[in-house]
């Protein structure tokens, strides 16, 4: 009788082996920093407010990305596409933009805005809190605007970002300045430059450039650290 159950046990074991492992538990603090809550999709209108460029110099920020036609880039934590759409225009139809979001509602808003502009070379990606779901070596540049400080799984996410970079690619972090009390943002949604550098270098990146002329934010460019 026991022999009859052995094939069933083998099949059950094979099925379990194929199932994805559960994600690691989220962390509340990382490298001495409290991790902020993710902005809910119901607050998406704040991302496209009329005065955003005046407050954050978003056009100037995107100029510093130095995007060129044909590049493959990513807007990590794309929200409803405030930066995604102009990035797609900058790389042209011969280029590609990955829009990574963990909230499907944000992706739907982005798709509607892209369709209204006739932009078809954006690939939306529903990421997970521990995995950006980007193809390996797919991106020349990965932009994170006011999103890294909300990662509940910073190390797995940075590992996924690292794998997604092409050789010579860069990760660009834009974060509100914690060193400046005049920046009207909640403290948990700000980061110090030293903290950004500490966390990125701890995870296999090296600082290659900085742009310090934005009104409220740091802008830091990281490449892959030498093996």
What does the pLDDT profile of the chain (227 residues) look like in tens digits?
A: 444 544 554 454 444 445 556 778 999 999 999 999 887 776 666 577 778 888 999 999 999 999 999 999 999 999 989 999 999 999 999 999 999 999 999 999 999 999 999 999 999 999 999 999 999 999 999 999 999 999 999 999 999 999 999 999 999 999 999 999 999 999 999 999 999 999 999 999 999 999 999 999 999 999 999 87
Rounded to whole angstroms, the Cα distance separating 31 from 15 reads 38
Q: Check residue 38 and give its pLDDT.
A: 85
Give the residue from 144, 156, 108 showing the smallest Cα distance to 221. 144
Predicted local distance difference test score (pLDDT) of residue 72: 98
59-78 in b/e form (b: 16+ CB < 10 A) is eebbebbebeeebbbbbbbb
pTM exceeds cut of 0.85: yes
The structural domains of the chain, with segments of one domain joined by +, span: 56-224
pLDDT value of residue 12: 47
Q: Indicate the fold that domain 56-224 takes in CATH.
A: Rossmann fold (3.40.50)
In this prediction, residue 40 carries a pLDDT of 75
Q: How far apart are the first and last CA of the chain?
A: 56
Gyration radius (Cα) of the chain, Å: 20
- Positive/negative CA dihedral, 175, 181, 183, 184: positive
For residue 132, the SS3 value is coil
């Amino acid at each position: 009788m026991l022999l009859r159950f052995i094939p069933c046990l083998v099949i059950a074991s094979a099925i379990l082996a194929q199932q994805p492992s559960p994600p690691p538990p989220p962390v509340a603090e990382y490298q001495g920093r409290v991790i902020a809550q993710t902005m809910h999709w119901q607050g998406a209108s704040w991302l496209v407010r009329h005065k955003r460029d005046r407050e954050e110099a978003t056009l100037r920020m995107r100029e510093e990305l130095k995007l060129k036609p044909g590049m493959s880039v990513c807007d990590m934590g794309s929200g409803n596409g405030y930066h995604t759409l102009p990035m797609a225009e900058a790389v042209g139809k011969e280029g590609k933009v990955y829009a990574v979001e963990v909230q499907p509602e944000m992706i739907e808003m982005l798709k509607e805005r892209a369709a209204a502009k006739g932009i078809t070379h954006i690939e939306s990606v529903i990421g997970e809190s521990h995995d950006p779901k980007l193809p390996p070596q797919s991106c020349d540049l990965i932009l994170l605007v006011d999103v890294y400080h909300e990662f509940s799984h910073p190390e797995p996410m940075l590992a996924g970002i690292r794998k997604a970079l092409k050789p010579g690619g860069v990760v660009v972090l834009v974060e509100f300045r914690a060193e400046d009390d005049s920046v009207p943002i909640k403290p948990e949604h700000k980061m110090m430059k030293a903290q950004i550098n500490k966390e990125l270098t701890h995870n296999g990146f090296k600082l290659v450039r900085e742009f310090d002329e934005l009104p409220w934010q740091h802008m830091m460019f990281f490449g892959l650290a030498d093996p």
